Amino acid sequence: MIDANAFRDVDPGQRVLMGPGPSDVPPRVLQAMAAPTIGHLDPRFLALMDETQELLRYVFQTANEFTIPVSGTGSAGMETCFVNLVEPGDEVVVCINGVFGTRMADIVNRLGGNLVKVEAEWGRAVAPEAVEKAVAGRKPKLIAVVHAETSTGACTPLDDIACIAADAGALFLVDTVTSLGGMPVGVDAVGIDAVYSGTQKCLSCPPGLAPVSFSAEALNALESRKAPVVSWYLDMGMVRQYWGGARKYHHTAPINMVYALREALRIIAEEGLEARWARHLLNHCALVAGLEAMGLSMLVPEAERLPMLNAVRIPDGADDKKVRAALLADFGIEIGAGLGPLAGRVWRVGLMGHAACRRNVTLFLAALETILKAEGVKVNAGGLEAAAAVYGQRTG
């Protein structure tokens, strides 16, 4: 027998989510999730699916008909793109400048693709010249890049690499898990063939769905495969028949997650993409001004920084784990640790979606200053004033 009374209600308390994701979820999204679960073929749910697709096309800035939320987190979106478009022996160029490019390469290897790596230093953008060099003399089927490398805070611009892919006759695959909803992505304007994202970064929705969109060329590559997609669950040839006109059962859609995503996207449409990008940039500038005034330094060179993920060097004398633990225990703030070669060297401060706001920036700077001073780490005065000055300039 199990004693049901031994288990309490779920009560995680309120946190300020300023890490690499998940980010703070607006109450409206949580309320939408609590709506009654209905059937995945109920006409009312089908209508919500259509609206979700329409909102996703707006956020991705695409006219691609095949634009859906895949059931699973951002990594399921990544796997969806590769598993549908790569067959054994296909040449695939993967740009690697952090954890997520490394994950892409792992997936290509598992699929038996012929992997060509383009590596860049962690904390830097991938240079288009390096991609050009790797592609020279080859005929890759696909070139893949992570737009916003959440493990380092570096942004790789897409336009030049898109041109290289187009010239090589390759499909262009982009990870926009962290960039979507926080900075311009422009799927059609850039010329992206396969794109995926996740719900819990700048879309400010709980984790659980992976928005994915394929161009006509990507769908054509899927339709002209020699062998079936090795994943049954992520075979977009079949999933497409549920999200498209046929409404054919494949797997049960995560109904309440779709409600949540639709509400999160509706909030984005209300704010407007341009205003949302400007808000991310403003809060990023204020955070960096505050940190630099305190005497801390950023990992990524200014021109290559992401607005929504800020990697700041851990100052001398500060204990990485102790500082993060104090932020969480004393202020309820979650930030991210460094990964791989950056472990113990940086903190990753997220300003994603709903969490990109003046209140969070101010709270974080004050909390960090308090903790560092208590630890005996030398911090310059004036961090909060420097941040306030950025807000004053831009809004006043």
Ligand X SMILES: *Cc1c(COP(=O)(O)O)cnc(C)c1O
Residue that is written with structure tokens 């703070």 in the block:
24
Q: β-strand 142-146 against 171-175: which pairing, if any?
A: parallel
By the 8 A CB rule, do 185 and 172 touch? no
Applying the rule CB under 6 A, the residues between 144 and 173 that interact with ligand X are: 146, 148, 150
As measured in angstroms, the least distance from the Cβ of 82 to ligand X is 12
Answer for which of 113, 153, 198, 307 binds ligand X (CB under 6 A) is: 198
Q: At what angle do helices 273-293 and 255-271 cross, to 10 degrees?
A: 80
Give whichever of 43 and 340 is closer to ligand X, judged by the CB atom.
340
Q: Does 206 bind ligand X (CB under 6 A)?
A: no
Burial of 28 (0-12, 13-18, 19+ CB in 10 A): middle
Tell which one of 177, 236, 326, 390 touches ligand X (CB under 6 A).
Answer: 177
Q: Which of 26, 207, 295, 382 binds ligand X (CB under 6 A)?
A: 207
When the beta carbons of 177 and 234 are compared against ligand X, the nearer one is: 177
| Binding pattern for the stretch 68-87 against ligand X, x by CB under 6 A and - elsewhere | -----xxx--x---------
Q: Read off the DSSP letter of residue 314.
A: P
HSE value, Cβ hemisphere, 13 Å, CA-based, for 26: 21
In angstroms, rounded to a whole number, what is the distance separating the alpha carbons of residues 369 and 294?
8
Beta carbon of residue 260, minimum distance to ligand X (angstroms, whole number): 14
For residue 114, the minimal CB distance to ligand X (Å) is 23
Among 24, 79, 87, 175, binds ligand X (CB under 6 A): 175
- The single-letter code of the amino acid at 56 is L
Task: Tell me the CA distances in angstroms from 134 to 81, 95, 118, 124, one per residue in order.
Answer: 21, 10, 7, 18
Helix H, strand E, coil C: the string for 335-351 is: CEECCHHHCCCEEEEEC
Query: In terms of CB distance, is 80 or 362 closer to ligand X?
Result: 80
Q: Which of 102, 178, 213, 362 binds ligand X (CB under 6 A)?
A: 178
Element (H, E) at 120: none
Rounded Cα–Cα distance for residues 83 and 111 (Å): 7
Q: Binding to ligand X (CB under 6 A): which residues in 88-147?
A: 100, 146
Considering the complex, state which of residue 82 and residue 100 has its C-beta at the smaller distance from ligand X: 100
Nearest distance, CB of residue 302 and ligand X, angstroms = 21
Q: Residue 198 or residue 290: which is nearer to ligand X going by CB?
A: 198
Q: Nearer to ligand X by C-beta: 53 or 73?
A: 73
Interface contacts to ligand X, rule CB under 6 A: 21, 73-75, 78, 100, 146, 148, 150, 175, 177-178, 198, 201, 207
